Amino acid sequence: MPNVDRLKQAAKAILRDAGLASAELSIALVDDAAIHELNRQYLKHDYPTDVLSFVLQCDNGHLEGEVIASTETARRSAKQLGWAADDELLLYVIHGTLHLVGHDDLAPEPLAAMRVAEARYLALFGLEPRQTTHDAPPDGT
């Protein structure tokens, strides 16, 4: 069973640090089949992924969003990276929440800034990031 309190604490820290007046965030933990379908439906990517995030509303200092993370991908990746599935899942929620507050990972410079932010929030839980590849298809293409 994932440590849901830790996921909430991380998301709250990110939202607080973003300087929002208020925020409402849902965090869904799903399997690969569910995240694959969402990835295909909303992003036109025909593969399961680790995490998806969606801004539902953002105005006047208020943010509403969703973070959807795959527990199956977390278990599989954690085994490859040599750390706990709960820690990998925490990284996914941190990564998704950072997207909601404006971080991007599509170019080298913003990706580097996102990795620094991920490390900062993982450190709140005594963790250091492991090498990872966000949003890579299962076959590595």
User: CATH for 4-123?
Assistant: 3.40.390.30
The per-residue DSSP string of 50-75 comes to SEEEEEEEEETTEEEEEEEEEHHHHH
Domain spans of the chain, in order of start: 4-123
**pLDDT computed for residue 100 by the predictor:** 97
Q: What pLDDT, in 10s, does the model give residues 25-73?
A: 999 999 999 999 999 999 999 999 999 999 999 999 999 999 999 999 9
Measured at the CA of 140, the angle between CA 135 and CA 141, to 5 degrees, comes to 85
Give residue-wise pLDDT tens across range 71-93: 999 999 999 999 999 999 999 99
